[in-house]
Structure 1
């Protein structure tokens, strides 16, 4: 009999089944729905708000806003490393989620304050809370199913739908509120409505989990002997201490943060490779294959995450959004990705099954993901070079809409298999560090996305020429990386020793 996962009873409780799955899955589904509502509800507005509030709407602030956005997103992913450890070894998953939800809610309400220092402290607080919340609720979904339970994958698929449902609704609702509350308009949204709505969403998530956690019947509780309040208080103090450190990382140059994240990543790679060498040739080869794919993962997210930075400025200034007196809100573009994921995920899954033995290998699926990302940039290249209206200096609405759709196809080729790949390739004793490598590679890509978006905007703000130049560079890098990955896929597959 295999050992139980940390913070999980040795024998699973007899859960009541709802629609063929354990009843607590639906409680976790809605908890995550509201947390993602909070996260994505304010994500679209961050860079735009920074320019509007702290630069008086001057486009010279776009580069600064993009770099700060990239740093924020990078640290959100990096914080997940520490949050997973705290849940595993210190206070359990339930308490980690509760503390994380409280901290995130506080941070979301702090960013409402129109003061740049308070705003950055609020972002640091959100990062600290998200680190405790995000990785641990996903882990608990897996703990609802016994090892070998064939429903596990479909359970995660349903949970993933909750994530995307929250991410789809949030920008639409918060974008609407920003234009209709506190004197906001399409020309000048009231961004505090966005942050208030997101904070309320996080409170709903907290309340939902607080009252629903009894259904878990012990899943995710602290390990025996740690049920008291001493350790949660210690973690709370740790969060308070961590927030100034995160605040500091948000204030340094994005390039310096990139070096810090890079050093952490290299140290992680050394540990993983050393363990792989000690475990023999097969383990060594698998670890090396995983690290190669991590490098390509950095590139994917560097360009994919233009969604929250340069694509917003593109939508605001260079995309035709007027439809007979009604203006399509900038924030609504952020919902296209989630809508495409929900619509296309079953199609992509069907294609993989239909291909059977011709199903692409993991490296080639990653390559397809990167190439589709590149094709999205190709569409922008064409639009910015040959579809600009000479009267308005704007490109057609449908072009940016389709960019999000094409990127979503790339995401579906790459993202769902990432974490699964890590569990199959990482050295047995360092799977946690392997997950850390995945999160860190994503974090590095997110930070680089902010730096790249800042280059596109330059000192004076985004123009048609600067956008065309930047997105052309993005296209060639992505297509080159995707083709390279396709070419070396057989070598990587050989290093994987039969892992599919």
Structure 2
């Protein structure tokens, strides 16, 4: 929900305004809205679908479902590194977005097929397609504004709201569809969710296809690369990439993927430090500070991404979701809490930072990250309390602890996520900002894959129980709280390594 690069193309056209911003912003807003609708529909339903479809609802399937979800999440972020390069150097942003949308839609409709191999191939297509789509739609927002345009930050804020609006709507709409759209049991309706997600990507494609003329050339292929031959090269590359991703999901698995991501992360770190060493001690120390924050960032997302796995299993089996009139709160709707909290709380958090800045007391970057980890940990503490003290005779905890956990995690996200990309552009060697941005997304990928491994451990061989959830969430609280406190304590050291970067 926070991948907004701020690249600016030279020679920005003089766009007509709509509601005080360049008119194409609203086209990109809706294109991204439907892409996020698709992605977040998959996110809430995927692990639950795997258990229902391939294990007939047996909780023993939770561990494999969690690992597939974690690997899928990791690869969605990791492939964005290559998608950005293809748009920059090969076919341009517009063509990348259109190709990505088509492949994602095909993949989502393929996931609907009641076959494990079809599901994994479909997810592989979604991963490859979103790698072309997500980083490039975000980058195009920056290309609508001149570098000195004071509306620029507000434009990214509006686009960020589009991201969260899509994330908010997806679980509400598809969660309702999965529960009530037909008379069949819920476990047979998850395929409707993937169909709705595929339809969302079709709408995203159409919105961009008909709206791209208003871009007036922004995002077109690089000079000399206008021919269609390069598009065919990219299509061929995508066709080769899908079976490779399938092999990673089906054969290598989450543990093997963790080794691959770890080696890739080390490689990125070595390249950044090598370039920094050519620029002197100050740049080396800035890169070291950035890499330290990357390490804490992956910890945050390792636990935040439990929303698609262990939190879902908790909501499905151990949360009292009965509301007024006997109505049952759909499991998927819990995942609308976070984007709603972002929409509601983000202005307040921004105001707090501004007030503290006026008094010269605004927390530094590492302190904000430390606060983010602490708030994430507090969310788990609420669940620990509920599982230890509030379980009723039916083995259920109240509705409010899980909802409160989502809100506390969102407060943590607001402390950490919005400043991440800005931090990278300030601390990275000027010649390798793009590579450093890839390192940022790679830290999210590592965290996403670790989240699946953790959720699989919590579920174990027989599925999540109150005892295993209590143990897993207790571990999560202490690790997050300890990491947050540690980061707050070493913040003065990291600030010195940053050499004045705020």
Q: TM-score range by the shorter chain?
A: over 0.9
Per the TM alignment, residue 183 of structure 1 is displaced from its structure 2 partner at its CA by 3.2
3-state SS, counterpart of residue 44 of structure 1: helix
Matches within 5 A, 1:79-228: 79-186=79-186, 188=187, 190-228=189-227
| CA distance in 2: counterparts of 1:458 and 1:375, whole angstroms | 24
| CA distance in 1: counterparts of 2:401 and 2:381, whole angstroms | 11
Of 453, 456, 466, the match for 1:454: 456
| CA distance in 2: counterparts of 1:95 and 1:215, whole angstroms | 15
Q: Is the 8 A contact 2:47 2:62 kept in 1?
A: yes
Q: Is the 8 A contact 2:8 2:146 kept in 1?
A: no
Per the TM alignment, residue 6 of structure 1 is displaced from its structure 2 partner at its CA by 12
Q: Is the 8 A contact 2:6 2:141 kept in 1?
A: no
Q: Is the 8 A contact 1:7 1:92 kept in 2?
A: no
Q: Is the 8 A contact 2:99 2:132 kept in 1?
A: yes
Per the TM alignment, residue 7 of structure 1 is displaced from its structure 2 partner at its CA by 10
Q: Is the 8 A contact 1:179 1:189 kept in 2?
A: no
Deviation string, structure 1 residues 133-154 (Cα, Å, up to 9, x no partner): 0000000001111112221111
Of 359, 372, 386, the match for 1:383: 386
Per the TM alignment, residue 260 of structure 1 is displaced from its structure 2 partner at its CA by 0.6
TM-score, length basis structure 2: 0.97
| CA distance in 1: counterparts of 2:363 and 2:8, whole angstroms | 36
Question: In the alignment, what sits opposite 1:394?
Answer: 396
| CA distance in 2: counterparts of 1:59 and 1:147, whole angstroms | 53
Per the TM alignment, residue 172 of structure 1 is displaced from its structure 2 partner at its CA by 0.6
Question: In the alignment, what sits opposite 2:71?
Answer: 71
Per the TM alignment, residue 255 of structure 1 is displaced from its structure 2 partner at its CA by 1.2
| CA distance in 2: counterparts of 1:41 and 1:16, whole angstroms | 34
| CA distance in 1: counterparts of 2:448 and 2:379, whole angstroms | 18
| CA distance in 1: counterparts of 2:253 and 2:9, whole angstroms | 46
Q: Which moved more, 1:256-265 or 1:6-15?
A: 6-15
Question: In the alignment, what sits opposite 2:328?
Answer: 327
Question: In the alignment, what sits opposite 1:366?
Answer: 369
| CA distance in 2: counterparts of 1:224 and 1:35, whole angstroms | 28
Deviation string, structure 1 residues 255-274 (Cα, Å, up to 9, x no partner): 11101100000010000011
Per the TM alignment, residue 189 of structure 1 is displaced from its structure 2 partner at its CA by 5.2
Q: Which moved more, 1:10-19 or 1:307-316?
A: 10-19
Question: In the alignment, what sits opposite 1:350?
Answer: 351
Deviation string, structure 1 residues 341-390 (Cα, Å, up to 9, x no partner): 0000000000000112100000000000000000001101100000111x
Cα 1:374–1:8 shift into 2, 3 Å: closer
| CA distance in 1: counterparts of 2:47 and 2:273, whole angstroms | 38
| 1:236 maps to 2:238 | no
Deviation string, structure 1 residues 422-467 (Cα, Å, up to 9, x no partner): 0000001110110011011110000000000001001111110000
Per the TM alignment, residue 226 of structure 1 is displaced from its structure 2 partner at its CA by 1.1
Tell me which stretches of 4 or more aligned residues in structure 1 moved more than 4 Å. Answer: 5-9
Cα 1:234–1:283 shift into 2, 3 Å: same
3-state SS, counterpart of residue 306 of structure 1: helix
| CA distance in 2: counterparts of 1:20 and 1:282, whole angstroms | 41
| CA distance in 2: counterparts of 1:46 and 1:10, whole angstroms | 41
Q: Is the 8 A contact 2:7 2:143 kept in 1?
A: no
Q: Is the 8 A contact 2:8 2:144 kept in 1?
A: no
Matches within 5 A, 1:427-446: 427-446=429-448
Cα 1:457–1:167 shift into 2, 3 Å: same
Deviation string, structure 1 residues 46-105 (Cα, Å, up to 9, x no partner): 000000000111000001100110000000000000000000000000000000000000
Per the TM alignment, residue 408 of structure 1 is displaced from its structure 2 partner at its CA by 0.3
Q: Is the 8 A contact 2:7 2:140 kept in 1?
A: no
Per the TM alignment, residue 181 of structure 1 is displaced from its structure 2 partner at its CA by 2.7
Deviation string, structure 1 residues 284-309 (Cα, Å, up to 9, x no partner): 11111000000001100000000001
User: What is the CA RMSD across the aligned residues, in angstroms?
Assistant: 1.3
| CA distance in 2: counterparts of 1:262 and 1:362, whole angstroms | 24
| CA distance in 2: counterparts of 1:431 and 1:220, whole angstroms | 20
Number of corresponding residues? 494
Per the TM alignment, residue 180 of structure 1 is displaced from its structure 2 partner at its CA by 2.1
Q: Is the 8 A contact 2:68 2:249 kept in 1?
A: yes
3-state SS, counterpart of residue 358 of structure 1: coil
Matches within 5 A, 1:459-498: 459-498=461-500
| CA distance in 1: counterparts of 2:110 and 2:185, whole angstroms | 23
Question: In the alignment, what sits opposite 2:421?
Answer: 419
Q: Is the 8 A contact 1:7 1:223 kept in 2?
A: no
Deviation string, structure 1 residues 295-331 (Cα, Å, up to 9, x no partner): 0011000000000010000000000001232110000
| CA distance in 1: counterparts of 2:184 and 2:14, whole angstroms | 51
